[in-house]
Amino acid sequence: MDSQIFFDVEMRKEDKYPALVGVLVDDEFTITCLEEGLRPAAEHAGLEVINPHEFFTALLLKAEDEDRALVAYTLHEFEILEKMFDENSGENKHLLDILNRRYVNANARKWFRKHYRESYDMIEARERAKGRRSRYRRQNGNIRMGLNLLLQIPEVAYPGANEAGRGSPANALRDVRDHFARKGPHIDSLTSTVKGKWTRMLTYLKHDVYGMAHLFEFVSEQELAWADRMAAQGRRQR
């Protein structure tokens, strides 16, 4: 499969279904709202609102019909879709089969730790030096080297590295839902502060998807270049 569908979701830990999904296909990026209760904010931002089952059914079938890989960062999205379609109908069995065959986990932490150890360690040490001020610090003091930190590795050269990871999607979702619940489902129910959080969440999601695609392409190109060099060395030794 030479082509990919890159996607990422935003949701709170306790949510059953994602609230938003960002998708990148052939350089075309879209964000879709999957939660009816967020419709006022979604439509204000020009987003389409679709039922999550309908959306992901179409996405899986698109991957199958167009022979594309479904690429997400970590197994989080896989587990969400697996639960969503974990039913006994024939259609869902077909969708789960597509998911299992076409899903690609793009987590590149171990790859960078192995191949770009100096830069990896530099980023990790910088975050560790921040102590409790680091948003990537775990309770045990270790640093969570996720997508946003890998995008800051100099060799990766992601143009949006300084913007990626800003804001808290979970808090933004909480605040938008709270305002709609208390004041009514209207865009004017949101304060300027909450509107700003919503906008930053959309930017956060955009960088999650574009950043993942950039990282995926970087790793793929490096692996290909190394394979070509090995093949050339082999030919010279004959």
Tell me the chain's radius of gyration from C-alpha atoms: 20
Can you state the angle between helices 169-183 and 192-236, rounded to 10 degrees? Answer: 150
Sign of dihedral through CA atoms 207, 210, 211, 212? positive
| CA 87 remoteness from chain centre | 26
pTM of the predicted model as reported, rounded to 2 decimal places: 0.92
pLDDT of 179-207, one tens digit each? 999 999 999 999 999 999 999 999 999 99
One-character DSSP codes across 154-194: GGG--TTTTTTT-S-HHHHHHHHHHHHHHH-SSGGGS-HHH
- The per-residue pLDDT for 232 is 65
β-pairing, 20-25 vs 28-33, is antiparallel
Q: Under CATH, to which class is 3-107+146-236 assigned?
A: alpha beta
Q: What pLDDT does 1 receive? A: 42
Contact status, residue 40 vs residue 179, Cβ threshold 8 Å: no
pLDDT at position 104 is: 97
Output the pLDDT for position 238: 58
How far is the C-alpha of 236 from the C-alpha of 214, rounded, in Å?
33
* Residues 6+ away with beta carbon under 8 Å from 147: 73, 164, 165, 208, 211, 212, 215
Confidence of residue 229 (pLDDT cuts 50, 70, 90): confident
Q: Which amino acid is at 52?
A: P
**By mean pLDDT, which of 1-5, 80-84, 163-167, 231-235 is the weakest?**
231-235
How much is the pLDDT for 90? 73
For 123, the 3-state DSSP assignment is: helix
Model confidence pLDDT, tens digit, residues 81-96: 999 998 666 779 999 9
Tens digit of each residue's pLDDT (9 = 90 or more) over 26-69: 999 999 999 999 999 999 999 999 999 999 999 999 999 999 99
> Mean pLDDT of all residues in the chain?
93
What is residue 20's predicted lDDT score, i.e. its pLDDT? 98
Mean pLDDT lowest among 86-95, 137-146, 170-179 = 86-95
Q: What's the rounded mean pLDDT across residues 129-150?
A: 92
Task: Kindly give the pairing relationship between strand 3-10 and strand 20-25.
Answer: antiparallel
Q: Encoding tokens for residue 31?
A: 């964000």
Q: What is the mean pLDDT of residues 74-85?
A: 95
- Position 225 scores a pLDDT of 83
